[in-house]
């Protein structure tokens, strides 16, 4: 943490800040500059709440320095995580493709799509059976009946099944017959759901929240890993901006940004990321080109 003093801060104001810093058990490092003094703080174990300093006399600004990640970092684990799902992998040199309908609507629909998915060599089949819907009046997914269809698809085609868990009880069900637990964008900060997924032995596909910063997203992964589950796969799915030509703005720059900080594999979802059918193909190509582990 860094405390920046106002240009006209007096020596006694600077001393007072140093005293407060040391009173709460940290070390203060005053750095007098040409126009103003900054005071570095060290000795903190975790993040420091800067708000206790920002209203002291003479303080212009408090700047947070330390990033609060531990388990997701390349510092901890310099080699990339490869998530194994049976004989399939995500994060390996091979591209991982996850395909399937938005929602499972019927056995016929699911099997028809799964057949095409399987024939094209794709290993992962995704379909929602519990759908988080903005309106209470729209189709909420087939529920447990849909889950049986997913299990039948898995049996029939040997595809790895990816399904979103909307509540903790869904994780129980997925653990019995599924392969990958998806945490959706709306639940990226549903911390009790994250913790439950963190206690599972199944890999977790963690989608980025609609307005999540990189830091918040990585900390959501940290929640899962802190419970002992290290098989986390990140998935960029577009963020909310003023732009109105797509439903969300797909932020492909987050792929190399994640890779600079973390060992976790990262996928891109161009369907939700754009919400437009004719944009899926060009943005899938771009996702691969930018270095994603799949889409």
Region 223-252 residues binding a second copy, contact defined as CB under 8 A? 223, 226, 239-246, 249-252
Q: Which two tokens stand for residue 58?
A: 């003479």
Give, as ranges, the residues between 249 and 268 that touch a second copy (CB under 8 A): 249-257, 260
Closest approach of Cβ 152 to a second copy, in Å?
26
283 in contact with a second copy (CB under 8 A): yes
Q: Which of 36, 80, 107, 154 binds a second copy (CB under 8 A)?
A: 36
Rule CB under 8 A: choose which of 20, 38, 151, 152 binds a second copy. 38
| Alpha-carbon distance values, 92 to 10, 79, 201, 264 (Å) | 57, 11, 20, 11
Among positions 24, 57, 65, 112, the unique one binding a second copy when judged by CB under 8 A: 65
106 contacts: CB under 8 Å, gap ≥ 6: 149
* CB 208 to a second copy: min, Å: 10
Task: Supply the minimum distance, in Å, between the C-beta of residue 102 and a second copy.
Answer: 10
| Interface with a second copy (CB under 8 A), residue from 132, 148, 157, 175 | 132
By the 8 A CB rule, do 249 and 240 touch? yes
Burial of 86 (C-beta count, 10 Å sphere; 0-12/13-18/19+): exposed
Count interface residues toward a second copy (CB under 8 A).
90
Shortest CB 226 distance to a second copy, Å: 5
Instruction: Say how many Å lie between the first and final Cα of the chain, rounded.
Output: 38
Nearer to a second copy, 54 or 94 (CB): 54
Asked if 42 contacts 188 with a C-beta cutoff of 8 angstroms, the reply is no
Of 11, 24, 57, 63, the residue at the interface with a second copy (CB under 8 A) is 63
Query: Among residue numbers 156 through 215, which ones bind a second copy (CB under 8 A)?
Result: 166-167, 186-187, 189-192, 210-211, 213-215
| Structure-token pair, residue 149 | 């269809």
Supply φ then ψ for residue 113, to 5 degrees.
-70, -45
């Amino acid at each position: 943490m860094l405390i920046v003093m106002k240009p006209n801060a007096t020596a006694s104001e600077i001393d007072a800040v140093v005293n407060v810093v040391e009173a709460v058990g940290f070390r203060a490092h005053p750095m007098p500059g040409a126009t103003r003094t900054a005071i570095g703080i060290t000795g903190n174990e975790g993040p420091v709440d800067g708000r206790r300093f920002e209203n002291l006399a003479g303080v212009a600004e408090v700047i947070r320095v330390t990033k609060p990640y531990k388990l997701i970092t390349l510092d901890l684990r310099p080699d990339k995580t490869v998530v194994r799902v049976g004989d399939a992998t995500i994060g390996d040199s091979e591209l991982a493709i996850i395909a399937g309908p938005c929602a499972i609507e019927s056995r016929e629909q699911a099997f028809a799509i799964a057949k095409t998915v399987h024939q094209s060599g794709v290993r992962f089949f995704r379909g929602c059976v519990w759908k988080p819907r903005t309106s209470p009046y729209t189709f909420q997914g087939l529920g447990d009946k849909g889950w049986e269809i997913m299990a039948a698809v898995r049996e029939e085609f040997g595809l790895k099944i990816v399904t979103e868990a909307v509540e903790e009880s869904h994780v129980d069900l997925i653990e019995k017959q599924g392969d990958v637990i998806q945490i959706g964008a709306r639940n990226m900060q549903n911390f009790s759901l994250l913790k439950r997924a963190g206690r599972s032995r199944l890999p977790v596909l963690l989608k980025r929240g609609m307005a999540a910063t990189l830091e918040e997203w990585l900390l959501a992964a940290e929640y899962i890993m802190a419970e002992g589950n290290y098989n986390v796969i990140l998935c960029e799915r577009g963020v909310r901006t003023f732009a109105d030509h797509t439903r969300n703005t797909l932020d492909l720059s987050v792929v190399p940004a994640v890779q600079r900080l973390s060992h976790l594999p990262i996928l891109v979802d161009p369907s939700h990321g754009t919400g437009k059918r004719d944009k899926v193909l060009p943005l899938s190509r771009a996702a691969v080109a930018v270095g994603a582990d799949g889409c």
